[in-house]
Amino acid sequence: MRLFLLKRMISTVLTLIVASVVIFVVLEILPGDPASFMLGIHAEAETLAALRAQLGLNQPLSIRYLEWIGGLLTGDLGNSYTYDVPVAELIRDRIMVSFPLALLAITLSTLIAIPLGVVAASQHNKPLDFLIMGFSQLGIAIPNFWFAMLLTIVFAVTLRWLPAGGFVGWDAGIIPALTSLLLPTVALALPQSAILARVTRSSMLDVLKEDYIRTARAKGVGYWSALWHHALRNAMIPVITIMGLQFSFLLAGTIIIENVFYLPGIGRLIFQAISQRDLIVVRDLVLLLSAAVILINFVVDILYALVDPRLRGFNDG
């Protein structure tokens, strides 16, 4: 296990380094001069020179990369050009919206999907199975931002039960804050749960065919007990894989959903930073998002090893 952990840690760190180099190079080299990119084509020479000096563009590329990484490691992400505040501060405020939103969405989708998948598998080829799979097909086909708009039309515009958008902030109290995150959470969770329910079902169907389930039943274990205690744990491996992969889609979904509901989160920040050509913020945020995806995949791999000791054995050789 220790060797496996070490190997995975090294490859995760390497992937993080490659990701940072790619993001840096792509955003620094391709557009030509970042300063003129940020200021637009009508910028005056003096302003350009000043910004170039401020951004440290007169230094060689490798030094600038190392300075950026050094800054990241010490928590100094540079200053936002448009907001004129440290990027770290901007991110800290916004992450307080995006992180709880992503967490709530993942929790809700798991709570919906796993029971639905288990029930569908236990009712294989019966009406309830078809109903659940029908729901899943629909959930996959509906774009989450359109679902968000439908939720707004029903619950905010017509019934007026919930706010149509905006975030009151955590200072206003937990209940009002959670209320403003309710519709975005549901909108994000629907497509995720549709996919997850499908994976849970097919994984459960595979496991239920195994001999040890028959043995457990023969020993007198009840059907539902065999399902929950014996089958589900083994069926979780592909489910965890998909949850890990879904995390990157969830981040992408957050960018769109935050824009639908005007939530001041990371997704909206990155979007605003692009339209304001604030390259420093874009660079930091893209790295932050990719790092989150890479780290989650690392955690998923570790979870595998914990759920299924056989995988550990393989990697230890």
Partner 1 sequence: MLWLIHACGDSTMVKQLKEVLQDGLYNRKFIIGSSITLLFFAMALLSYTWTPHSVEEINIAVKLAKPSLEYWLGTDHFGRDIFSMLIFGARNSVIVAMVAIVIGMGVGVPLGLIAAAKKGWIDETIMRFNDFTFAFPALISAIMITAILGPGSVNSIIAIGIFNIPVFARITRGTALSLWKREFILAAKSAGKGSIQISLEHILPNASNILIVQATIQFALGILAEAGLSYLGLGTQPPAPSWGKMLNDAQTFIHFAPQLAIYPGLTIAITVLGLNLFGDGLRDVLDPKLRRSR
The binding site for partner 1 (CB under 8 A) comprises: 15, 18-19, 22-23, 26-27, 30-31, 137-138, 140-143, 145-146, 149-150, 152-153, 157, 164, 245, 248-249, 251-252, 255-256, 259-260, 270-271, 274, 277, 279, 282, 286, 289-290, 293-294, 297
- The smaller minimum CB distance to partner 1, of residues 96 and 252, is found at 252
Q: CB of residue 107 vs partner 1: minimum separation in angstroms?
A: 20
CA distance 26 to 114: 40
CA distance 24 to 141: 35
* C-alpha gyration radius of the chain: 24
- The smaller minimum CB distance to partner 1, of residues 179 and 202, is found at 202
Is 94:100 a contact under the CB 8 Å cutoff? no
- The smaller minimum CB distance to partner 1, of residues 149 and 221, is found at 149
Is 284:87 a contact under the CB 8 Å cutoff? yes
Distances (CA, A) of 177 to 106, 124, 149, 162, 173: 18, 41, 20, 12, 6
Is 189:108 a contact under the CB 8 Å cutoff? yes
- The smaller minimum CB distance to partner 1, of residues 11 and 59, is found at 11
In the three-class reduction of DSSP (H, G, I as helix; E, B as strand; rest coil), residue 79 is classed as strand
Q: CB of residue 220 vs partner 1: minimum separation in angstroms?
A: 29
CA distance 159 to 149: 14
Between helices 127-141 and 87-122, what is the axis angle to 10°? 160
Q: CB of residue 18 vs partner 1: minimum separation in angstroms?
A: 6
Q: CB of residue 211 vs partner 1: minimum separation in angstroms?
A: 17
**What single DSSP character describes residue 220?**
T
Is 266:98 a contact under the CB 8 Å cutoff? yes
Q: CB of residue 294 vs partner 1: minimum separation in angstroms?
A: 5
Six-digit token string for 44? 């005056």
- The smaller minimum CB distance to partner 1, of residues 188 and 229, is found at 188
Q: CB of residue 277 vs partner 1: minimum separation in angstroms?
A: 8
Q: CB of residue 15 vs partner 1: minimum separation in angstroms?
A: 6
- The smaller minimum CB distance to partner 1, of residues 15 and 221, is found at 15
Q: CB of residue 58 vs partner 1: minimum separation in angstroms?
A: 22
- The smaller minimum CB distance to partner 1, of residues 143 and 222, is found at 143
Output the CA angle 264-268-272, nearest 5 degrees.
115
Q: CB of residue 111 vs partner 1: minimum separation in angstroms?
A: 24
- The smaller minimum CB distance to partner 1, of residues 221 and 299, is found at 299
In the three-class reduction of DSSP (H, G, I as helix; E, B as strand; rest coil), residue 76 is classed as coil
Is 142:186 a contact under the CB 8 Å cutoff? no
- The smaller minimum CB distance to partner 1, of residues 124 and 233, is found at 124
Beta carbons within 10 angstroms of residue 52's beta carbon: 15
Q: Which residues contact 172 (CB under 8 A, 6 or more apart)?
A: none
Q: How many residues does the chain have?
A: 317
